[in-house]
Amino acid sequence: MLRMAVLVSGGGTNLQAIMDAIDSGKITNAEIVTVISNNAGAYALERARKYGVEALLLSPKDHPDREAFNLALRDALVEREIDLVVLAGYLVVVPPVVIREFENRIINIHPSLIPSFCGTGCYGLHVHEKALDRGVKVSGATVHFVDEGTDTGPIIMQKAVEVEQDDTPQTLQRRIMEQAEWVILPQVIDLIANDKVHVAGKKVTLG
Judged by the rule CB under 6 A, the positions of this chain that interact with ligand GRF are 8, 10-14, 44, 88-89, 109-111, 177, 181
Residues 14 and 88: beta-carbon distance below 8 Å: yes
User: Shortest gap between Cβ of 180 and ligand GRF (angstroms)?
Assistant: 9
How buried is 207 (Cβ within 10 angstroms: 0-12 exposed, 13-18 middle, 19+ buried)?
exposed
Q: Which is nearer to ligand GRF, 45 or 82 (CB)?
A: 45
Active site annotation includes 110: yes
Question: Is the CB of 123 or the CB of 207 nearer to ligand GRF?
Answer: 123
Q: How far is the CB of 64 from ligand GRF (least distance, A)?
A: 28
Work out the number of other CB atoms within 10 angstroms of the CB of residue 100: 10
CB of 195 to ligand GRF, least distance (A): 25
Closer CB to ligand GRF, 12 or 153, in the complex? 12
Comparing CA positions, the residue from 157, 161, 205, 163 lying closest to residue 184 is: 157
Nearer to ligand GRF, 23 or 67 (CB): 23
One of 110, 128, 144, 198 is an active-site residue; which one?
110
Query: Could you tell me which of 182, 179, 166, 181 has the C-alpha nearest to residue 132?
Result: 166
Range list of β-strands (E), the chain: 2-8, 30-37, 54-57, 84-87, 106-110, 138-145, 155-162, 197-200, 203-206
* β-sheet bridge partners, residue 106: 85
> Minimal distance in Å, beta carbon 147 to ligand GRF?
16
Position with the least CB separation from ligand GRF: 89
Q: Which of the residues are catalytic?
A: 110
